[in-house]
A and B are shown apart, each in its own frame.
Chain A
Amino acid sequence: MIATSPVKELRAIVGRDNVLDQPVDLQTYEYDAYLERHLPRAVVFVRSTAEVSAVVKVLARARIPFVPRGCGTNLTGGSVGLDDAVIIEMGLMDRILEIDLPNQRAVVQPGIFNLDISEALAPFGYYYAPDPASQKACSLGGNIAENAGGPHCFKYGVTSNHVLGLELVLPDGEVVWSGGKNVDSPGLDLTGILVGSEGTLGIVTAAILRILRKPETVKTMLGVCKSLEDGGNVVSAIVAAGLIPATLEMMDNRTINAVEDSMACGFPRDAAAVLLIELDGLRDGMDEMAEQIVTICRANGVSDVRVAQDEAERAALWKGRKGAFGALSRLAPNYMVADGTVPRTKLPEALRRVAEIAGRYGLQVASVFHAGDGNLHPLLLFDGRNNGERKKVMAASMEMLQVCADLGGTVSGEHGIGVEKLGAMHMVFDDNDLRAQSYVKEAFDPQGLCNPGKVLPGPAAKTGAPGPTEAGGATGAGAPSLTVSVGAALGA
């Protein structure tokens, strides 16, 4: 096919052992936390921007598609290589390059675990705010690619609010910087468009992050709810009262019990739902605001409100919340998350309709979600080895996303489009909207080599909800092909 073997060229750049091309080695990289499997052509481990650039130049010249990959925790198939792509594995680029306290910035490489950033900053009294639930196991590069959220977005925003500059290897191998340590640089906000672009516009090799002073006080509360609806009403009332908690998270009864079964964090097993609320900021006025929240809870039928008395209790609550996806994965061989978002006040209706859809398909559903952001995460539990179940789950999930779109929300709050939701893009965007987005892809990646088949639907995906197809060498532009992973379950 090609005169000189690209693998040979790649080995010359990164060293023999840093290129995998044997099927047995490649199998580790054929899936992520979504359901599809595609064996990559090769996997290349890179250690520097210069190596990434050289590798990409070789691949671009040979017109071989490539996919940057971090820890493979993506829930929508974003880090799976379609079209016989080469995986560029970023995990070795995991260093903190600079902690710049006077400017409140950190410069890091993309392979670093999210949690490691805040741990490195802790001695200085600083932290990096976006904390997706998978933060122990997901890398910053993936967070940037997906514009990751997490349970503290209600107050602090998402990844894009905290990324100010990026070093990028373009799909032709050229290295450019966007943004910087300063804010609002003149020119188009390339950093802004790169964050959330799912690795389709280039490969991020360094990022300038905003870092925040740790709050003086944190108060964590757990409201024990008689129904999901009560919890939703509490959230709305808190917002109406002018309070801005850092966290407003909910888990339903099935999730609570899964969490308790797997790690015993002290959640009440008989509660219909729990609402996790966290206030942070100055200690002054904090007790009064906490009291106000307790009053709001009581007024909305949530009689039992527990306040974490110490750091250990707080840590236990968070361990349960952040481990919820993992705990739920024990209940069934597979799950699928419908990561839709609705305007917050529509949450009760969205949850009702999600339950109705699950009931109609006869599917078990567990809900753990970011109530403050209106970001639902109904997890559909199923056995992926059963072809019929898989089809039902896909169809139910698409219906749930349609509900979110119909209620004025959107089809992905934080997990991205990947291959999973290509068909759902038409629920919120028309042809003009999508054409404008394709301009961006064309400007950055005219050859279409960088993570092909993701984010933007091809013409084939336009016919409503994609019907699941059988496994095989689907090329990704159309309906996603389905195979099933038993991959690690790490959620947002």
Chain B
Amino acid sequence: MPSEAPQDVAALAGRFEAVVGCDQVSLAPETAVHDLRAPAQVRPADEQQLGRVLALARTEDLGVCLAGGATKLGWGNRARRFDLLVSTRDLQGFSDVDPDNLSLSVAAGTPVAEARAKARAMDRVLPLDPGRPSVATVGGVTATADQGARGAGYGGLRDVVLGLRAVLADGSAVKFGGRTMKNVTGYDMTKLFVGSFGVLGVITEVTYRLLPRPEKQALIVLPLESLAQGRGIAAYVLDSYLQPLALEVISAGFARMTGVAGATPSGVVDLAPGHGYLLLAAFAGHRAAVARSIAEVRGQARAPAAAILEDAEAESLFERLSEAGAVGARSGSSLTTRSTVPISQVWELAQAAETRAGAIELPLAFRIGAARGTLDLYMSERASPAPDPQRLTTYAADLRRDAVALGGQLAVTRGLAMLSPAFDAWGDLGASVKLMKRLKERFDPDGILNPGRFVGGI
């Protein structure tokens, strides 16, 4: 606990140093989980060390929070207790590289960008498109199921993970799944661990399904006059034969925040007055199929203005989109949320978010993942007058109610501290939480892993 006496902290650190060596333990780490900092951090060098660290933490009854690239520590609730930060950052490398069989096994602390580069060098694609890929690690991205724009084509994390290794709270190492696309040997434990937020165990290695590199990739950017126009085009694409790699609608604020507006070499993506949104549709595959897809989307737009980005240009635009979280982090007092709703309802939710924000003059930027029904909201409070927690809490609570009414959920991904303390980061997930709690009790009976940070107080 932060209140722990310094000599106790030193003694504690000493016990961990005995397990992992002095270089792997540090005192008073900078990394905070919400407003809490742990007195000590351990960076195990490998899975065995991690096992010993967790076993010791359990013996000492320490609350352990986990971090990889530390890009998503704003997700989830405050920790119920936070005595030790365990970083997976030093678990690095590739244990199984098999481009012919379209699989790649990556150690948890490897940044996603590095793993993607590895795949690219073998003429393959690693189907991950999370926020801040140059910092975020594969372990963290898998534990949070963070998937961005290209999830429309790739699917979610649950669809691209073939197997994984983890260390459980008692320090034992386990492996689940395997390297093959089809595998029904025992329970599908990989699914349980993907998106499990570290509460069942610490992921140490993930095996992903790879895709062949497509012959062609292209992205069309269409300025939109209204959300309704975006909804119409998205509905057309989703009900057509086209298979989008990405299908996003972003607000003007989001386009400016990420530098998407005006960022293209062709320069036509500028947001003219009256065009408050951009639609981005990307396609990959055979060049003829990509050309036809782009043409078909373009034909849906009444306004002829459009930018078409190909291959590397499209790639760099995706990179900008995925850095939105970093921009949000820099802007200080910001609240961000992620919602998922049934795909046709995402427009209603975005509309509600806009209307409600307008009513209280809250600056709002957002992106809609039209093919997966995701809505990421970025709200920034002005410095003066001083942010009013009640106003923001009411806004978030109202939007959560909207999301639930539309058949979805809303989770806070940054800025929980700006809301009133009772506001849960995940919301009420109903009766199924009871089962999640029972799973937690089995896997981590002492509740040492990310205590209290996940749904239902898990």
Complex-state Cα separation, A342 to B433, whole angstroms: 36
Assuming the A-B contacts A181-B407, A285-B287, are A187 and B429 also in contact, with contact meaning beta carbons closer than 8 angstroms in the complex?
yes
Assuming the A-B contacts A197-B187, A345-B101, are A432 and B439 also in contact, with contact meaning beta carbons closer than 8 angstroms in the complex?
no
Q: Write out the residue numbers on chain A whose beta carbons fall within 8 Å of the beta carbon of B442.
A: 439-440, 442-443
User: B407 contacts A436, CB within 8 Å?
Assistant: no
Complex-state Cα separation, A47 to B187, whole angstroms: 28
Q: Is B360 an interface residue (CB 8 A)?
A: no
Complex-state Cα separation, A158 to B200, whole angstroms: 25
Contact of A443 among B123, B174, B199, B441 (CB under 8 A): B441
User: A437 contacts B407, CB within 8 Å?
Assistant: no
Assuming the A-B contacts A183-B156, A185-B340, are A289 and B432 also in contact, with contact meaning beta carbons closer than 8 angstroms in the complex?
no
User: A456 contacts B429, CB within 8 Å?
Assistant: no
User: B342 contacts A244, CB within 8 Å?
Assistant: no
Q: Write out the residue numbers on chain B whose beta carbons fall within 8 Å of the beta carbon of A375.
A: 180, 182
User: A103 contacts B344, CB within 8 Å?
Assistant: yes
A window 392-430: CB within 8 A of B: 408-417, 421, 424-425, 428-429
Complex-state Cα separation, A181 to B409, whole angstroms: 11
User: A416 contacts B184, CB within 8 Å?
Assistant: yes
Nearest neighbor of A436 in chain B, beta-carbon distance? B174
Complex-state Cα separation, A134 to B175, whole angstroms: 31
Min C-beta distance of A72 to chain B, whole Å: 18
Q: Is A36 an interface residue (CB 8 A)?
A: no
Q: Write out the residue numbers on chain B whose beta carbons fall within 8 Å of the beta carbon of A364.
A: none
Task: Fill in one digit per residue for B209-237: 1 if any A CB lies within 8 Å of its CB, else 0.
Answer: 00111110000000000000000000100
Q: Is A123 an interface residue (CB 8 A)?
A: no
Binds B, one of A24-32, A172-180, A268-276, A383-391: A172-180
Contact of A440 among B179, B192, B235, B374 (CB under 8 A): B192
Assuming the A-B contacts A186-B409, A187-B429, are A284 and B172 also in contact, with contact meaning beta carbons closer than 8 angstroms in the complex?
no
Complex-state Cα separation, A433 to B192, whole angstroms: 14
Complex-state Cα separation, A442 to B441, whole angstroms: 10
Contact of B188 among A160, A184, A429 (CB under 8 A): A160
Min C-beta distance of A428 to chain B, whole Å: 6
User: A244 contacts B174, CB within 8 Å?
Assistant: no
Q: Is B137 an interface residue (CB 8 A)?
A: no
Complex-state Cα separation, A271 to B178, whole angstroms: 34
Q: Is A315 an interface residue (CB 8 A)?
A: no
Contact of B340 among A182, A345, A373 (CB under 8 A): A182
User: B187 contacts A433, CB within 8 Å?
Assistant: no
Q: Write out the residue numbers on chain B whose beta carbons fall within 8 Å of the beta carbon of A183.
A: 156, 340, 372-374
Q: Write out the residue numbers on chain B whose beta carbons fall within 8 Å of the beta carbon of A181.
A: 342, 407
Complex-state Cα separation, A415 to B374, whole angstroms: 34
Assuming the A-B contacts A161-B155, A196-B187, are A186 and B427 also in contact, with contact meaning beta carbons closer than 8 angstroms in the complex?
yes
Complex-state Cα separation, A424 to B105, whole angstroms: 24
Complex-state Cα separation, A147 to B184, whole angstroms: 7
Binds B, one of A149-157, A253-261, A305-313, A468-476: A149-157
Complex-state Cα separation, A245 to B432, whole angstroms: 38
Binds A, one of B16-24, B255-263, B288-296: B288-296
B window 228-282: CB within 8 A of A: 235, 238-243
Q: Write out the residue numbers on chain B whose beta carbons fall within 8 Å of the beta carbon of A439.
A: 439, 442-443
Assuming the A-B contacts A187-B432, A188-B436, A190-B436, are A282 and B292 also in contact, with contact meaning beta carbons closer than 8 angstroms in the complex?
yes
Task: Fill in one digit per residue for B45-88: 1 if any A CB lies within 8 Å of its CB, else 0.
Answer: 00000000000000000000000000000000000000000000
Q: Is A94 an interface residue (CB 8 A)?
A: no
Task: Fill in one digit per residue for A334-349: 1 if any B CB lies within 8 Å of its CB, else 0.
Answer: 0000000111110000
User: A196 contacts B407, CB within 8 Å?
Assistant: no
Q: Write out the residue numbers on chain A whose beta carbons fall within 8 Å of the beta carbon of B176.
A: 433, 436
User: A158 contacts B189, CB within 8 Å?
Assistant: no
B window 418-458: CB within 8 A of A: 426-427, 429-436, 438-439, 441-443, 454-456
User: B434 contacts A176, CB within 8 Å?
Assistant: yes
User: B180 contacts A341, CB within 8 Å?
Assistant: yes
Contact of B102 among A184, A239, A424, A442 (CB under 8 A): A239
User: B189 contacts A440, CB within 8 Å?
Assistant: yes
Contact of A342 among B180, B189, B199, B239 (CB under 8 A): B180
Min C-beta distance of A238 to chain B, whole Å: 10
Assuming the A-B contacts A154-B181, A186-B427, A193-B187, are A284 and B292 also in contact, with contact meaning beta carbons closer than 8 angstroms in the complex?
yes
Nearest neighbor of B98 in chain A, beta-carbon distance? A343
Complex-state Cα separation, A385 to B224, whole angstroms: 72
What number of A residues sit within 8 Å (CB to CB) of B?
92
Complex-state Cα separation, A206 to B200, whole angstroms: 27
Q: Write out the residue numbers on chain B whose beta carbons fall within 8 Å of the beta carbon of A425.
A: 185-186
Contact of B183 among A239, A413, A434 (CB under 8 A): A413
User: A436 contacts B285, CB within 8 Å?
Assistant: no
Contact of A429 among B182, B186, B242, B436 (CB under 8 A): B186
Q: Is B104 an interface residue (CB 8 A)?
A: no
Nearest neighbor of B373 in chain A, beta-carbon distance? A182
User: B182 contacts A413, CB within 8 Å?
Assistant: yes
Assuming the A-B contacts A190-B436, A284-B286, are A343 and B103 also in contact, with contact meaning beta carbons closer than 8 angstroms in the complex?
yes
Contact of B180 among A189, A243, A343, A417 (CB under 8 A): A343
Q: Is A6 an interface residue (CB 8 A)?
A: no
Nearest neighbor of A441 in chain B, beta-carbon distance? B187
Q: Write out the residue numbers on chain A whose beta carbons fall within 8 Å of the beta carbon of B123.
A: 242
B window 163-181: CB within 8 A of A: 168, 172-176, 178-181
Contact of A146 among B184, B189, B340 (CB under 8 A): B184
Q: Is B194 an interface residue (CB 8 A)?
A: yes
Assuming the A-B contacts A193-B189, A243-B212, are A414 and B289 also in contact, with contact meaning beta carbons closer than 8 angstroms in the complex?
no
Q: Write out the residue numbers on chain B whose beta carbons fall within 8 Å of the beta carbon of A154.
A: 181
Q: Write out the residue numbers on chain B whose beta carbons fall within 8 Å of the beta carbon of A241.
A: 212
Q: Write out the residue numbers on chain B whose beta carbons fall within 8 Å of the beta carbon of A178.
A: 432, 435
Task: Fill in one digit per residue for B288-323: 1 if any A CB lies within 8 Å of its CB, else 0.
Answer: 110111000000000000000000000000000000
Q: Is B341 an interface residue (CB 8 A)?
A: yes
Q: Write out the residue numbers on chain A whose beta carbons fall within 8 Å of the beta carbon of B235.
A: 102
Q: Is B191 an interface residue (CB 8 A)?
A: yes
Min C-beta distance of B417 to chain A, whole Å: 19
Q: Is A105 an interface residue (CB 8 A)?
A: yes
Q: Write out the residue numbers on chain A whose beta carbons fall within 8 Å of the beta carbon of B182.
A: 149, 153, 158, 341, 370, 373-375, 413-414
Q: Is A318 an interface residue (CB 8 A)?
A: no
Assuming the A-B contacts A284-B286, A413-B184, are A190 and B435 also in contact, with contact meaning beta carbons closer than 8 angstroms in the complex?
yes
Q: Write out the residue numbers on chain A whose beta carbons fall within 8 Å of the beta carbon of B289.
A: 281-282, 284-285
Q: Is A216 an interface residue (CB 8 A)?
A: yes
Q: Is A352 an interface residue (CB 8 A)?
A: no
User: B286 contacts A182, CB within 8 Å?
Assistant: no
Min C-beta distance of B100 to chain A, whole Å: 5
Complex-state Cα separation, A105 to B372, whole angstroms: 12
Assuming the A-B contacts A187-B433, A236-B100, A341-B182, are A244 and B211 also in contact, with contact meaning beta carbons closer than 8 angstroms in the complex?
yes
Q: Write out the residue numbers on chain A whose beta carbons fall within 8 Å of the beta carbon of B214.
A: 242
User: A412 contacts B291, CB within 8 Å?
Assistant: no
8 closest Cβ pairs, A-B complex: A192-B191, A285-B286, A242-B212, A285-B288, A439-B442, A102-B344, A284-B288, A216-B241
Q: List 26 A-B contacts (CB under 8 A).
A: A101-B239, A157-B155, A176-B435, A177-B431, A178-B435, A180-B407, A182-B342, A183-B372, A184-B147, A185-B408, A186-B426, A188-B192, A193-B187, A193-B191, A196-B187, A213-B240, A213-B241, A242-B214, A282-B241, A284-B291, A288-B286, A343-B103, A345-B100, A413-B183, A425-B185, A443-B438
Residues of B participating in the A interface, judged by any CB pair closer than 8 Å? 98, 100-103, 123, 145, 147, 155-159, 168, 172-176, 178-189, 191-192, 194-196, 199-201, 211-215, 235, 238-243, 285-289, 291-293, 340-345, 372-374, 407-409, 411, 426-427, 429-436, 438-439, 441-443, 454-456
- Beyond known contacts A432-B172, A436-B174, A440-B439: 20 more, CB 8 A cutoff: A103-B344, A147-B188, A176-B430, A176-B434, A176-B435, A185-B340, A186-B427, A187-B432, A188-B200, A192-B194, A242-B214, A282-B286, A282-B293, A284-B291, A285-B285, A343-B103, A373-B181, A374-B182, A417-B186, A425-B186
